[in-house]
Each structure stands twice: as structure tokens, then as C-alpha cells.
Amino acid sequence: MRVIETDFVIVGAGIAGLTAALWAAQHGEVIIITKDQAHNCNTALAQGGVAAAVGKNDSPELHLSDTLSAGAGACRPDAVRLLTGEAPQAIQTLLEWGVQFDFTETGELALAREGAHSLARVLHHGDNTGAEIWRTLYQKLQQTAGISLLPHTYALELSLNQGCCTGVLAEFQGEITHFSSRGVVLAAGGCGQIFGRTTNSSPSTGDGLALAWRAGAELTDLEFIQFHPTALDRGSNPLFLISEAVRGEGAVLVNSQGAKFMPAYHPMADLAPRDVVSRAIVQEQSEGREVFLDATALGAKFARRFPNIYRTLVGYNIDPLHQPIPVTPAAHFMIGGIKTDSWGQTNIRGLLACGETAATGVHGANRLASNSLLEGLVFGRRVALVLARLEHARPLPQPAEFPGAKALDPGDPRLTALQDTMWSKVGIIRDGHKLEEASRTLLELQAGAEDFELHNMLQVARLITSAALNRPESRGSHFRSDYPVSNLAWQHRHFVPGRFSA
Ligand code: SIN
């Protein structure tokens, strides 16, 4: 087997992976591997922005308090304090690196309001914030010595010796390669593609989670999947997102009878937490009413403030200045993931995780809007500080042969069955009966799955379903109609031990 030695391997090239690479390059050579083109990631699709307490009337304490209340009692407060406390510095760094955030006419950073924030605190670049940040980080990476980015390189398994992570086995240029390193960072994003409706990029199949679990890493909070209320109800996965910032600017949800229904569901109406808005939409849909986002009151401002959304809608023959936009909820963010401490360390020495793949405890049971790009920036930097102190553990000899990754066939009926099962039985409204049914279907599907990516997706789907079954209450993004209220006895995180063989 081919061996490539380096100091650090980072799996994933979104905001968390690139940030970790840029800081880690000060301490050694970095190889980033990513299974598709580097820019095909959730970061580049993120529209709304980055939350940070940089406004006049804001403070990290207020940001902390909003994050904790959105998290519905399941956050790790120490981790949230770090997140909100380090946010202003992370923004300062982005500005120094060249990110073009929008400014007001009076020269202050322009701030938008999103759901469950008590004031406007979301920095943005039009409605293309993630793409702007990704472009800047990527440019900086190209100017930084000691970082190589290998696209179309698929991580298959972690290599271990005596409980230490010693590298990654990956398919690189058609050859199985052992990237041997003193530190591995999993920053492989989320798993939205396991659901029939998602806003997530096509590579978001939960590989990082599956790899870590097989290697024995502890996972947590898997039952918490965040559904975004307003994806465009046209086309196929990934569904195009209609940013929450559109509601922040005054757009309102209406049903096919023209009623503004959100005030009947929550005092914050259209800016209620995402789980509340998503369930309200599902309720309307289940009673036979279609749901639309009416942004016509914004007038011409819509096209100026949301040029990307405007262009895309026009491409679908929808004129948002004059007609309401058809919307539906869709799986948007994996809150749970690989359990880490506040430095991104897992229970395996040498294995770190950050970004959506990791569960640092900052999101609790429900992520506050625009805290995810922030998480990638803050914890991407923190993992690099741990990498700096790691020493090489001697790798074991690797097997001469290792099965390669067979490409996922988008037309595979098992993929459709997986996505339909997860959407209809492990989606926005769950119950024990549907979850049991989903468990059985997923087990049957897994029996025949040789394809590596599909196998990972099924493994992650089974872990999520079992975590949802094992939480007999409703909290944040996890709603069970058979246990519709929160139970104080369950106000804790829910750990899943890693498995040691595939
Ligand atoms: C959005 O723009 O609505 C998405 C922002 C986020 O998911 O944090």
C-alpha cells in the first residue's frame, strides 16, 4: 500500500477544515483530503451569515444567553461561553484575511436579525456569506506554505495503534493510500443527504461520523437534527435555501388560504426557533394547505439584499417581488456528532474533530441560526493548538489490500429507500412506532450495501434512529408525538459508544 507521511491530515475542506489547516500550518505540514471538488461543501452554500456580538447593544453574554435558550437545556455552557466569547476575535481575523462583510452607509458592520436572536447580530456578505468566507480562506491557503489540498480523495478508514490515531486510509488517485500523520482532524461536515429533503451539499453523507464510530470514537446528541423551515419547494436535493434572513427582513409565512399562520403557533411568530416553525409548516401541510413565504412587502429591496436568492427564484419562474415563494422544511444541520471537548479532542488520542462533524455541546438540542460558521472558525483554531503538541505514534503496518470505495449511484433504489425512510419516519415529527419501523428497514437495507458511501449513510442513519428512539421526550429539534413535552429527567446529553469493527 502506498504511504504518504505528513504531520497532520484534515478530512474535509469546509470552513472548519480550512480554518484548522491555516492555523495548523504554523506547526507542521498539512494535507487536506476531500472527496469531491473542494468548494462542494455546506459552507459554500451558507447564505445567512456568522453570528457574533460586535454590535453596539450586544455582548458575548447576550449571545450566550440566546444560544442557551435555543439549545433547550442541552448545551454545554462552558463551550458556548468560549464560542460567543471568541466570536468577535474570529470576525476580526476574517476581516484581516480579507472577507468582505457588508457595511452600513455610516461605516459600521451591517447586522441582520435571524430566528431566536434577541437582536440583529448576523454579519453577512449579501446572501452569499459562506461562499465569500470559503473563497477568502481558500485564497489564503494557496498563499500559505506547507498545506496541500487533495480533492477527489475519499477517506475510507482511520488507522490506529494502541488506541492512538496514526492516520487515514484513503482512495487517492485510484490507489489506496495510507496518510500517516501525528494528528487527524475530522471536519467532514454533516449528513443531510440521508434525508429525502435536505439543503446540504451532495458530499454530506456523514462519512466523518461513520469513520470515527468504527474507530471507537464516542458520539453524542445524534437525535438532534435541525430542519430548516424554508427550503424552496421545487427541484431535488439539495433543495435551495431561502435564508432565514429573508424573514428577518420582514417576509412572512402564509398558507394557501392566504393566512399568516405563525402568530397562532408562537409569540415570536415567523422568527420563532426553527423547530417550532418547521413543525407549524408540517401541521399546515398535513391539513392540506400549501405553505409560502411572502416577501412581496420587501419590494425592490429583496433583489438588492438577496441577489443570489432572487436570481435563483427567477430561474424557477418565481418572481418574489410579486408572488409568494413555495417553501418546505428540509434537513439542514447535524447538531450531534463526534463527542469532543472544548479543544476538539475525542476519546482517541491524535483524533480531533471540528465543525458540523463534531459535537462540542455548543448547539444543545437546537442550534441558534448562524452559529455554525462561527463554530467552524472558533473550534477550527482550537484544534490546531492541540495538533501543535502531538507527537507521532508509530503506525502499525497496513494491510496490503483494502477494498476501494465504489461510487454512490444516485439512482440506486436503496438510496431512495433510505432517504424516504429517514424523511417520513425519522424527520420533523417522530414517534416510537415509526422509529421502530425505520430501524427495521435500515437494517434490511444495510445487509446488501457494499458501496462504501451508502454503507456509511446507512450506518449513520441507524445511529440517529436509535438515538431518537432512546430519547422518550421532546426537546429542541427532536420532537416525538408520543412524548410531546420535555422531561427534566432527560435534560442531559446522550452518549453513544464507538464501535471497534466495521
Ligand atoms: C439561513 O441563512 O437561514 C441559514 C443560516 C444557518 O443555518 O445558520
pLDDT digit string, tens, across residues 22-49: 999 999 999 999 999 999 999 999 998 9
Q: Separation of 235 CA from ligand 1 center, angstroms?
A: 20
Would the CB of 354 count as within 6 Å of ligand 1? no
DSSP strand pairing (30-33 vs 111-112): unpaired
Catalytic residue (choose from 274, 279, 381, 471): 274
Provide mean pLDDT across the span 241-270: 95
- pLDDT of 500 reads 54
Active-site residue flag, 247: no
Q: Separation of 368 CA from ligand 1 center, angstroms?
A: 9
C-alpha to C-alpha distances, 186 to 13, 16, 153, nearest whole angstrom = 10, 9, 14
Q: Which of 68, 71, 67 is nearest to 486 (CA)?
A: 71
Provide mean pLDDT across the span 190-218: 97
The verdict on whether omega for the bond into residue 497 sits within 30 degrees of 0, i.e. cis, is no
Would the CB of 370 count as within 6 Å of ligand 1? yes
Mutate-to-test residue for ligand 1 from 204, 227, 228, highest number of ligand atoms within 8 A of CB: 228
User: How far apart are the C-alpha atoms of 64 and 278, rounded to whole Å?
Assistant: 24
Which residue's C-alpha cell is 480531533?
A: 352
111 three-class SS: strand
- pLDDT of 258 reads 95
Provide mean pLDDT across the span 267-285: 94
State which amino acid sits at residue 253.
Answer: L
Would the CB of 346 count as within 6 Å of ligand 1? no
Provide mean pLDDT across the span 370-393: 95
452 three-class SS: helix
Would the CB of 459 count as within 6 Å of ligand 1? no
Percent of the chain residues topping a pLDDT of 70? 99
| Contact in structure between 337 and 171 (CB atoms under 8 Å) | no
Helices 60-70 and 77-97, interaxial angle, to 10°? 120
Q: Separation of 87 CA from ligand 1 center, angstroms?
A: 17
Q: Which atom, in ligand 1's list, is nearest to the CA of 230?
A: 3
User: How far apart are the C-alpha atoms of 297 and 320, rounded to whole Å?
Assistant: 10
- pLDDT of 165 reads 96
Q: Which of 315, 402, 325, 354 is nearest to 183 (CA)?
A: 354
Mutate-to-test residue for ligand 1 from 226, 271, 332, highest number of ligand atoms within 8 A of CB: 332
Q: Separation of 198 CA from ligand 1 center, angstroms?
A: 13
**Is the confidence at residue 502, as pLDDT, over 70?**
no
Would the CB of 356 count as within 6 Å of ligand 1? no
User: How far apart are the C-alpha atoms of 357 and 459, rounded to whole Å?
Assistant: 15
- pLDDT of 355 reads 98
Q: Separation of 6 CA from ligand 1 center, angstroms?
A: 35
**Is the confidence at residue 58, as pLDDT, over 80?**
yes
Q: Separation of 74 CA from ligand 1 center, angstroms?
A: 21
With 0-12 / 13-18 / 19 or more C-beta atoms within 10 angstroms meaning exposed / middle / buried, residue 238 is buried
Q: Separation of 245 CA from ligand 1 center, angstroms?
A: 8
- pLDDT of 43 reads 96
- pLDDT of 484 reads 97
Would the CB of 48 count as within 6 Å of ligand 1? yes
**Is the confidence at residue 501, as pLDDT, over 50?**
no
- The number of C-alpha atoms within 13 Å of 307 and in the hemisphere containing its C-beta is 6
**Is the confidence at residue 3, as pLDDT, over 70?**
yes
Q: Which atom, in ligand 1's list, is nearest to the CA of 368?
A: 8
Question: Which element (helix H / strand E) includes 45?
Answer: helix 42-45
Lowest mean pLDDT among 84-93, 348-357, 448-457: 448-457
Would the CB of 350 count as within 6 Å of ligand 1? no
Q: Which of 217, 50, 73, 78 is nearest to 137 (CA)?
A: 50
Mutate-to-test residue for ligand 1 from 15, 42, 45, 47, highest number of ligand atoms within 8 A of CB: 47
Question: Which element (helix H / strand E) includes 213?
Answer: helix 207-214
Q: Separation of 250 CA from ligand 1 center, angstroms?
A: 16
**Is the confidence at residue 499, as pLDDT, over 80?**
no
The residue whose CA has the least distance to atom 8 of ligand 1 is 370
Provide mean pLDDT across the span 466-470: 96
Q: What is the mean pLDDT of the chain?
A: 95
Provide mean pLDDT across the span 496-502: 65
Would the CB of 398 count as within 6 Å of ligand 1? no
Give residue-wise pLDDT tens across range 118-143: 999 999 999 999 999 999 999 999 99
Would the CB of 243 count as within 6 Å of ligand 1? yes
User: How far apart are the C-alpha atoms of 41 and 130, rounded to whole Å?
Assistant: 10
Would the CB of 244 count as within 6 Å of ligand 1? yes
| Contact in structure between 12 and 186 (CB atoms under 8 Å) | yes
Mutate-to-test residue for ligand 1 from 370, 375, 377, highest number of ligand atoms within 8 A of CB: 370
